[in-house]
Amino acid sequence: MFVFFSTCTVYLVLFGSTQADENSCGLSMTWLETVSVTMDVSKNGFHRDLVTTVYFGPGFPDGLEALLVHRLPSGIYIDQYQLASLKEDTGLQVLLGSEVDLEAPAHTSEEFIVLVYPALDQGSLKATLPIHGRYHKPSLAGKRFELVEIKLPKLILRTDTCTQLISFPPYKIVDSPCTVHNLSICQWLEIQHQQEQDPVSLEIPLGDGSLVEPVCAGTLLVTLLCCAILSRSIWRHGVFLDNVILT
């Protein structure tokens, strides 16, 4: 009996040591090194699409769940009502970290966090997030566009089958909502990469602050002129019956 147990222990120790590179949740170090994230901005103008794609090598574990944690700058915003309607149409799953004011200009807004649960699309995970540019303060130095930079999101992973993630350097463990319904918190593995890609940027047109005087003067001139022309016409054709101005 003792020999049996000691043999088992030896086998377990030997077996355990050769599996040092595999996390108990099926996420192996070698596979994790094949994971990469790219991000791109499509469309033009104030209304864009932020497309994030997660590529990975073959042999991904069953029940793999991914979560993209975007930290978006104050220069753009997301319309939660548009997201709700897109959820029904395209299945886009997004959780907003905080209330986003849809109308505030950039200089009175703050960064905000968006959690995107991408869907599997032909062997990679992809998510298209509609973003909108905020109005920025007019520039005084003749700058015609403001560059808004969007950093790459953090990618965190877990598997459905997993109940307890074991710490796995250099990857650290973070807590985040398990699904978009935000009913419970799960443990996720944060995949850190060298920044393979520079942040993406989009240009937002700016008003020209140096023209403030001609614009004000021109506006007031035209409005007063139109007011004068209309007043003259009303005076001529009006029936000022009982008022005191007409003698």
Q: Does 87 engage in binding with other proteins (CB under 8 A)? A: no
The count of residues interacting with other proteins (CB under 8 A) is 52
Q: Does 42 engage in binding with other proteins (CB under 8 A)? A: no
Stretch that binds other proteins, among 70-78, 156-164, 171-179, 221-229 (CB under 8 A): 221-229
Stretch that binds other proteins, among 15-23, 41-49, 149-157, 193-201 (CB under 8 A): 41-49
Q: Which of 10, 13, 120, 212 binds other proteins (CB under 8 A)?
A: 212
Is 20 exposed, middle or buried (CB count within 10 Å of its CB: 0-12, 13-18, 19+)? Answer: exposed
CB of 36 to other proteins, least distance (A): 29
Q: Does 62 engage in binding with other proteins (CB under 8 A)? A: no
- How far CA 50 is from CA of 23, 44, 58, 69, 170, in Å, comes to 32, 11, 26, 13, 28
Q: Does 97 engage in binding with other proteins (CB under 8 A)? A: no
Q: Does 239 engage in binding with other proteins (CB under 8 A)? A: yes
Q: Does 45 engage in binding with other proteins (CB under 8 A)? A: yes
| List of E strands, the chain | 36-42, 47-55, 64-72, 76-77, 93-96, 112-117, 119-121, 124-133, 145-150, 154-159, 172-177, 185-191, 200-205
CB of 212 to other proteins, least distance (A): 5
Q: Which of 57, 105, 142, 199 binds other proteins (CB under 8 A)?
A: 105
Residue (of 197, 151, 198, 191) closest to 33 by Cα position: 191
Residue type present at position 23: N
CB of 203 to other proteins, least distance (A): 6
Whole-angstrom distance, CA of residue 165 vs CA of residue 189: 8
Token representation of residue 97? 């970290």
Backbone angles phi, psi at 68, to 5 degrees: -100, 120
Residues that bind other proteins (CB under 8 A): 44-47, 81, 85, 89, 99, 101-103, 105, 135, 137-138, 144-145, 203-209, 211-212, 215-216, 218-220, 222-224, 226-227, 229-231, 233-235, 237-245, 247
